[in-house]
Amino acid sequence: MQKRVAHSVGLGDGLFFDRLDKACRHLNNFRDGPDQGGLPSRAVEIGTGWFPIVPIALWLCGVGTVETYDLSRHATDTRLSQTIEHFIIAWKNGRLARALPDLDRDRISRLKRMAQNRIPSELVEGLAELGIHYAIAPIGPERIPRGSVDLVFSTAVLEYLPYPALVGLLRECCDSLSPKGVVSHWVDLSDEYAYFDRDITPFNFLRFSDRAWRLINNPIIPLSRLRLDEYRRACKGRTNFRPLRRSKTRPVAAGCLNDEGARSGPFIVRRRP
């Protein structure tokens, strides 16, 4: 199922430009935080996924260094090559500059030169030399010391975590933030089967009891079915996050208020206490 949902056979324009939009929103969420308009010196992504579009996009927009962590390597050499190729094509046809208003033209030139001089198996090393670090490892204080990160972000990752694991991860996010730090998580609240089965609704999985869902849920990539109020509750208590002041100019980036926004997905945005 995950291959079909993630379009892992090949990267299409739909997914590519959707992730560019998410990158802009993560960056805007940071700018709504204590730094009020600057750029993160260090950003950390939780869950690279199949195509590292968001971390590359953030680096292209001027973020100092971007680290992206995953527990398994889904971003193969071929998928890395496809991702970079999409950036280069979108730059040539003008769509990249429109999608990323903060695009640094010197950085896209550096990305192009790196890709031209590397075979696919060397792209991870080449990205690291630019300032985009891809690691197969869990996040933790040994890799991300307390108070060292300006932006912690994820895109369509938290919905796979059971509630106790979610609380633990959010606690680690809070500990890692610098004084100006912000966390920005985009969560897909919908039933992933609805992406390729038109006979079911985005909320189809909510009609099953917990017992029935345990039997039919995918054992490899299980969906938690948590709702927005549960994510909000996970951000309270021991995680000690503070909500950002809601932005008048970027209301979507401040987060949806209910499940009506599930198909576009809410952003969970918090800052240090």
Q: Name all domains of the chain by residue range, CATH numbers in brackets.
A: 2-271 (3.40.50.150)
pLDDT at residue 240 greater than cutoff 80: no
pLDDT of residue 268: 86
Place of tokens 């987060």: 255
Question: Reduced to 3 states, what is the DSSP secondary structure of residue 45?
Answer: strand
pLDDT at residue 167 greater than cutoff 60: yes
For residues 59 and 133, the answer to whether their CB atoms sit within 8 Å is no
- The percentage of residues in the chain with a pLDDT greater than 90, rounded to a whole number, is 57
Residues 6+ apart with CB under 8 A from 33: 180, 181, 182, 244, 271
pLDDT of residue 1: 42
- Residue 270: which of 175, 190, 188 has the closest Cα? 175
Question: Reduced to 3 states, what is the DSSP secondary structure of residue 182?
Answer: strand
pLDDT tens digits, 26-82 = 999 999 887 777 899 999 999 999 999 999 999 999 999 999 999 999 999 999 999
Q: What's the whole-number mean pLDDT along residues 174-190? A: 92
Q: What angle do CA 132, 134, 135 make, to 5 degrees?
A: 145
pLDDT of residue 216: 86
Specify burial of residue 199 (Cβ count, 10 A radius: 0-12, 13-18, 19+): exposed
Please state, in angstroms and rounded to a whole number, the distance separating the CA atoms of residues 168 and 72: 19
Please state, in angstroms and rounded to a whole number, the distance separating the CA atoms of residues 79 and 266: 27
Q: pTM of the entire structure?
A: 0.86
Which of 105-109, 175-179, 188-192 is predicted least confidently? 188-192
Q: How far is CA 258 from the centre of its chain?
A: 20
Which residues in 242-269 are b (16+ Cβ under 10 Å) and which e?
eebeeeeeeeebbbbeebeebeebbbbb
Specify burial of residue 2 (Cβ count, 10 A radius: 0-12, 13-18, 19+): middle
Please state, in angstroms and rounded to a whole number, the distance separating the CA atoms of residues 88 and 112: 7
Please state, in angstroms and rounded to a whole number, the distance separating the CA atoms of residues 109 and 154: 26
